[in-house]
Amino acid sequence: MARMTLDKLLQSQGFGTRRHCQQLIAGGHVLVAGQAVDDPGMAVDPSGLEFSVFGEPWTYREHVYLALNKPPGYECSRRPSHHPGVLSLLPEPMRWREVQPVGRLDHDTTGLLLLSDDGAFIHAQSSPRRKVPKHYVADTHDPVTPELVSALLAGVQLHDEPAALAASQCEQIGPHRIAISLEQGKYHQVKRMLAAAGNHCEALQRVAIGGLRLQALGLPEGGWCYLGEQELALLNGT
């Protein structure tokens, strides 16, 4: 990777405008490999560069790939209108580098949410052609019955869809709880499918995307982490 000046590197990592980054460096607030640097024009090799800003450690990343355990009451939007946005749960540099959610979860839906600043990744992960299953746990208003599970697996007709939509997997895991997997990713799909099958969704959590499971990430509600190559590979698995 080509060398770049330290101020441009900080700007690329979300620490503000180039002028602001120059001021951070000149003010002695940036350490590179543990050493204080006050020259914004110093050339550095960005590959895996470790640096700190105001004592907080960072590693250079050309793009970031994040997983967030979304709490209820947050909107998956860069410009939320009725509730706080999920980006407010991330450090400020992530917002400066224009990280955005990959797809959406309703404000009251919780669980695994991907975010990135890599447009190609976002497009690929959002494409319905990939048919990567997304796995949910849904709590229902009425008791779960074998007929409900059978209907969801066979397919239910939603009023604005040309064909019935079916779950790729569905099983009862409690008196009022099902585990359900979908490949289509339609708007409010789990909730609408449950309603079409004669029940009502009381709570919904996304627990996995492909083979990437929220539980394995160990994130508390509202917590986030970087995804490495191993975790990214799991997104394509089951």
Helix ranges, the chain (H): 6-12, 18-26, 92-96, 119-126, 146-154, 189-196, 214-217, 229-234
Helix ranges, 27-86 (H): none
Under a CB-based contact definition with an 8 Å cutoff, are residues 86 and 68 in contact?
yes
As a whole number of Å, the CA-based R_g of the chain is 21
Task: Please report how many Cα atoms fall inside a 13 Å half-sphere around the Cα of residue 234, on the Cβ side.
Answer: 16
On the 0-12 / 13-18 / 19+ scale of CB atoms within 10 A, 83 is middle
Task: Say how far apart CA 235 and CA 232 lie, in whole Å.
Answer: 5
DSSP β-bridge partners for residue 225: 67
Closest CA to 108 of 78, 130, 83, 142: 83
Which residues carry out catalysis? 106
